[in-house]
Chain A
Amino acid sequence: EAGVAQSPRYKIIEKRQSVAFWCNPISGHATLYWYQQILGQGPKLLIQFQNNGVVDDSQLPKDRFSAERLKGVDSTLKIQPAKLEDSAVYLCASSSLAGETQYFGPGTRLLVL
């Protein structure tokens, strides 16, 4: 079974630029999560989708971050404009509708200069 796919794996941008990350969850998983992981810390949930609806985006900085999952399968997370403090690993995870276990992708490492 293929795991969670993410791209790109690495991205370097200058502050005030925009960037987008893509995630394709495990086939059949209805729930998709985006996490931010700052170096030396545990992942922090940014947004959770169930199918194409948002379940929780309470920790998403909505003035600069946006995410969508239009067809209920793959998802895109965007940052516009980026700040220095956005440098982190952005992890995507998915779980089945009835399951609690979340399976993570390899992450996208973002460096904002």
Chain B
Amino acid sequence: GESVGLHLPTLSVQEGDNSIINCAYSNSASDYFIWYKQESGKGPQFIIDIRSNMDKRQGQRVTVLLNKTVKHLSLQIAATQPGDSAVYFCAEKGTGGGNKLTFGTGTQLKVEL
């Protein structure tokens, strides 16, 4: 079946460094991808999204890269801050109706001072 997975369950970075969180997806028909941040005890918070007709999209301190050839998605966080510590999920939406998102298992980002 379709699945979205993450390569690294835990990522530790120093404050001020850049973070890269990776995600592999298996449904080549997916046309929309989202990154969510989930802090402890809270619901997922939208960070950035990208459509399949794009390779790169930038937000404030975050960049999402999409490589459809190898079905790979990454989230880059510039100048990582302690407030960035959270679990990050990528999610994909297939081309079928209903707007259904399929989530991966998440990567825990830990920012060390």
List residues of A whose CB falls within 8 A of some B CB: 4, 31, 40-45, 48, 55-56, 91, 93, 95, 100-107
Contact = CB atoms under 8 A, between A and B. Distances in A.
A100 B46 contact: no
B99 A31 contact: yes
A45 B2 CA distance: 14
A40 B105 contact: yes
Nearest to B99: A100
B101 interface: yes
Interface string B35-46: 010000111111
Interface string B12-55: 00000000000000000000101010000111111001000000
A92 B34 CA distance: 17
A31 B99 CA distance: 9
A15 B107 CA distance: 31
A74 to B, nearest CB: 17
B93 A100 contact: yes
8 contacts: A31-B99, A41-B106, A42-B89, A44-B103, A91-B43, A95-B99, A100-B93, A107-B42
Interface residues of B, number: 23
A104 B45 contact: yes
Given A91-B43, A100-B49, A56 B32 contact: no
Nearest to A40: B105
A54 B91 CA distance: 22
B49 A101 contact: yes
B100 A42 contact: no
Of the candidates A95, A100, A103, the one having the most CB atoms from chain B within 10 angstroms of its own CB is A100
B105 A41 contact: yes
A112 B63 CA distance: 40
B107 to A, nearest CB: 11
A101 B89 contact: no
